[in-house]
Amino acid sequence: MPKDFFDFDLPYDRPKWYIYLLYAAAGAVLAGVLNFLANITGLVKEESFNEAATGLLGASNHIAVLIVLYCLATPFIEELLFRYFIFNLLFKYTKRAALSVVVCAALFGIYHMNPVQMVYGFIMGLVITYAYYRHRVLTIPFLMHAAANAVALAFSFL
């Protein structure tokens, strides 16, 4: 592996505090809309959707553990992997933002490994990856992802 393989030379301009809140709210709203659409289209009755929801709740019966797992640990790890490493590598070597955003989002969708979550993950991945590209601050996609997972977790209890 070349010495500068992970040297991304990211421009950094810290956004104002309210930008973080706006993106977190956008992540929550988008997740809410996607969950609502899954409900009204009947996708929640699909076996793959039910498997994902049961797997989510099967990790623990304690809400605090689920929050730590799905609203903190998972977004942290997935944002490091998909936005920081995969997106930055794609963008560094292709120099094409749109292509890098779409490919990263597609990989994020595929990573979720079931048809409903693939579509959900791809759409969320597009928005989250664009937000990362726009600001180059990993905190923004983390907050969006955490808010989206919190909404998905809340929907799984309904």
- Please state, as a whole number, how many other Cβ atoms lie within 10 Å of the Cβ of residue 83: 24
- The residue among 45 and 14 whose pLDDT is bigger is 14
> In angstroms, what CA-CA distances link 49 with 34, 74, 107, 113, 138?
13, 19, 19, 11, 29
pLDDT tens digits for 80-131? 999 999 999 999 999 999 999 999 999 999 999 888 889 999 999 999 999 9
Identify the residue with better confidence: 157 or 15.
15
Task: Please give the average per-residue pLDDT across 33-46, as a whole number.
Answer: 85
pLDDT tens digits for 60-91? 778 899 999 999 999 999 999 999 999 999 99
CA distances from 112 to 10, 16, 98, 119, 120 (A): 28, 32, 22, 9, 9
What does the pLDDT read at residue 115? Answer: 85
Please report the pLDDT score of residue 157 as a whole number.
76
**pLDDT, position 21:** 97
